[in-house]
């Protein structure tokens, strides 16, 4: 199961976060994390694995406290790197540099200056799924990550390319189901 991190100060300010680690959870974000933890209380997880970025680890810590779980972190679960655009206003991102126009991926090789292409981002997410299969094959994981990473994990898991796919909104603290498929390593070169 996947959960996007709770609302951060940069979400509130409509700033590009990417892999910048300055944002903290807002009061509303801490409440969102507590609420989703209560929602997940009836589920049976063995471990929480979180992006190592603060907005995700803060969310994971709140959920872990309620569920009585340990949190491991993994940098493979970070958000897409947006390079020089990080910290700037979201509405200043140019569609052609991020590869998404009107909610559809049109160029998975697009990249903001100093940032990560969607193709590389998807491959990084795929490496996490492969690692998960090796490191925690029988464990029930709750993964705390970022909106873009959830999309990348779904794409890799389903074996579908980013190109032409919808880039739907992933709300803060939304819960997503991901049923792991065997054979990820055979899709590695996509």
Active site residue 79: yes
DSSP single-letter state for residue 5: P
Count CA atoms within 13 Å of residue 51 on its CB side: 29
In 10 A of CB 8, how many CB atoms?
Answer: 24
79, 86, 116, 146: which is the annotated catalytic residue? 79
> Are 88 and 39 spatial neighbours (Cβ–Cβ below 8 Å)?
no
Number of residues written out for the chain: 190
Phi and psi angles of residue 181, each rounded to the nearest 5 degrees, phi first? -105, 140
Active site residue 5: yes
- Please identify every residue annotated as catalytic: 5, 79
């Amino acid at each position: 199961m996947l959960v996007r991190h709770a609302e951060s100060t940069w979400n509130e300010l409509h700033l590009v976060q990417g892999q910048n680690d300055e944002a903290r959870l807002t009061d509303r974000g801490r409440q969102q994390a507590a609420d989703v933890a209560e929602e997940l209380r009836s589920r049976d997880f063995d471990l929480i694995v979180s992006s190592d970025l603060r907005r995700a680890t803060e969310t994971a810590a709140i959920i872990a406290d309620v569920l009585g779980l340990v949190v491991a972190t993994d940098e493979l679960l970070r958000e897409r790197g947006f390079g020089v655009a990080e910290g700037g206003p979201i509405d200043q991102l140019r569609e052609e540099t991020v590869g998404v126009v009107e909610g559809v991926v049109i160029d998975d090789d697009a990249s903001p200056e100093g940032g990560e292409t969607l193709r590389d981002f998807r491959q990084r997410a795929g490496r996490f799924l492969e690692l998960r299969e090796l490191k925690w094959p029988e464990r029930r994981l709750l993964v705390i990550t970022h909106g873009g990473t959830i999309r990348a994990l779904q794409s890799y898991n389903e074996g579908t390319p980013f190109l032409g796919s919808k880039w739907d909104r992933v709300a803060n603290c939304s819960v997503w189901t991901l049923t792991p498929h065997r054979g990820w390593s055979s899709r590695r070169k996509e």
